[in-house]
Amino acid sequence: MGLLYQLSFIAEGEVFEKAYNQEFEAKEPRCTVTDPIYYTRSNKDLEITAQDNMGDILKKIRAFGIPSICARFHKGEREYRILSAKIIDNPILNSIFPSAKDDEVFCCYDSKVLVKRFGRYLQFEMMDLKDIKIGHRFF
């Protein structure tokens, strides 16, 4: 995500330079947009809930996975911020963690948490692992 922002800043600079060199005159006729698309991020958009399906969880985290924004979920009074997530398809996890239950943390290391969700394994990279313990419900 950070790379996307860097590339967009570079592209913005190039576009500005071209427009400046053309004295901000359009080279091509403008098209008419009847319903412009505009998006303003809300806190609700960042929120992951226990009701979200796997696809929605991954989309939110990919869309907002930069340190200044982060997808997040709340557990009690605590807010947890997630930088990245990916599905881990590794059959060895079943043999090493046979008692892993859906929505429970079964492994923590570095800034990562492994959680089983809908029978699949997810790795979350967290901003902070404070209060996240093996065996605790993640969602």
Which residues, in sequence order, are CB contacts of 48 under 8 Å at separation 6+? 56, 57, 60, 61, 71, 72, 73, 82, 139
> Which domains, ranges and CATH numbers included, belong to the chain?
41-126 (3.10.25)
70-127 pLDDT per residue, tens: 999 988 888 999 999 999 988 888 889 888 999 999 999 999 999 999 889 999 999 9
Q: Are 66 and 85 in contact (CB under 8 A)?
A: no
User: Which has more pLDDT, 27 or 40?
Assistant: 40
Q: What is the mean pLDDT of residues 31-56?
A: 86
Residue 130 pLDDT more than 60? yes
pLDDT of residue 1: 56
Q: Are 138 and 85 in contact (CB under 8 A)?
A: no
Please work out, in degrees rounded to the nearest 5, the angle formed at the alpha carbon of residue 126 by the alpha carbons of 43 and 64.
35
Q: Which pTM does this prediction carry?
A: 0.71
pLDDT of residue 17: 87
Separation between Cα atoms, residue 58 and residue 65, nearest integer Å: 10
pLDDT of residue 19: 84
Q: How many CA atoms lie within 13 A of 117 on its CB side?
A: 25
| Contacts of the segment 77-83: beta carbons below 8 A, 24+ positions apart | 78/130, 78/131, 80/126, 80/127, 80/128, 80/132, 81/126, 81/127, 81/128, 82/48, 82/124, 82/125, 82/126, 82/127, 83/111, 83/125, 83/126, 83/127
Q: Which of 15-24, 42-51, 52-61, 129-138 is predicted least confidently?
A: 15-24
